Amino acid sequence: MTISWRKSSYSGSATDEMCVELADLAQGIGIRDSKSPAGGRLVVGRGGFGGLVGRIKGGALDLPPR
């Protein structure tokens, strides 16, 4: 089975590797680092992924200014 990975259009150009990629998998949402596509991958349930996206959009995971 071939996995179709994609990244957000907000990530910049097609050659911009500073982002994560997502895949819709049978067991949930796959997440991987675009700089190391053969490296480790994280799979989270759809509900957990929705919660993560909500926290990111809401600023709950923003780093404090330096």
The predicted-structure confidence for 18-64, as pLDDT tens digits, reads as follows 788 999 999 999 999 888 889 999 999 999 999 999 999 999 999 99
pLDDT tops 80 at residue 5: yes
Give the distance, in angstroms, between the CA of residue 64 and the centroid of all CA atoms in the same chain: 21
Task: Supply the pTM of this predicted model.
Answer: 0.76
Q: Measured between alpha carbons, how far is 52 from 31 in angstroms, rounded to an integer?
A: 12
- pLDDT confidence of residue 18: 72
Query: Per-domain residue ranges for the chain?
Result: 9-57
| Contact in structure between 17 and 32 (CB atoms under 8 Å) | no
- pLDDT confidence of residue 32: 93
pLDDT tops 80 at residue 6: yes
